Amino acid sequence: MKKTFSHVGIPTTESKKGENYSADMKLFITDFSQSENNIEWLRFDADCEMPREIQEHTHVAYAVENLEEAIAGQKVILEPCAISDTLRIAFIVDAEGCPVEFMEFSGEAAGTAY
């Protein structure tokens, strides 16, 4: 399976410049594409329902061509879900205990993700 590094997501309790609020996910998030080092900051609401592994640990993210193939046989902690019309994501915990995000882009976005 081909995977392309996308970003590193780091949980924080501090407000960060450029963060946007996602009411659906109950978190503030920055745009990693605006970061010199592809860092995404995540600040979670107290009632956020995302898995603790994502809320408490740094994650690495990869763009993949097929989300189901990427998570097959893995310990899935966040099932595939649509973030937008052109992006679906899922999270696993790898064998070393690290949360890993897989991102599947569609349409025009897919052409630049890999």
DSSP 8-state assignment for residue 23: T
Domain-wise residue ranges, the chain? 3-105
Q: pTM (2 decimals)?
A: 0.92
Determine which helix (DSSP H) or strand (DSSP E) holds 112, and give its type and residue range: helix 108-113
Record: fold of 3-105:
2,3-Dihydroxybiphenyl 1,2-Dioxygenase; domain 1 (3.10.180)
Share of residues in the chain with pLDDT > 70 (%): 94
Q: Beta strands of 35-96 (E only): which ranges?
A: 39-44, 59-64, 75-84, 87-93
pLDDT at 1: 86
pLDDT at 64: 97
Is the pLDDT at 111 greater than 60? The verdict is: no
- pLDDT digits 0-9 by tens, 58-98: 999 999 999 999 999 999 999 999 999 999 999 999 999 99
pLDDT at 114: 45
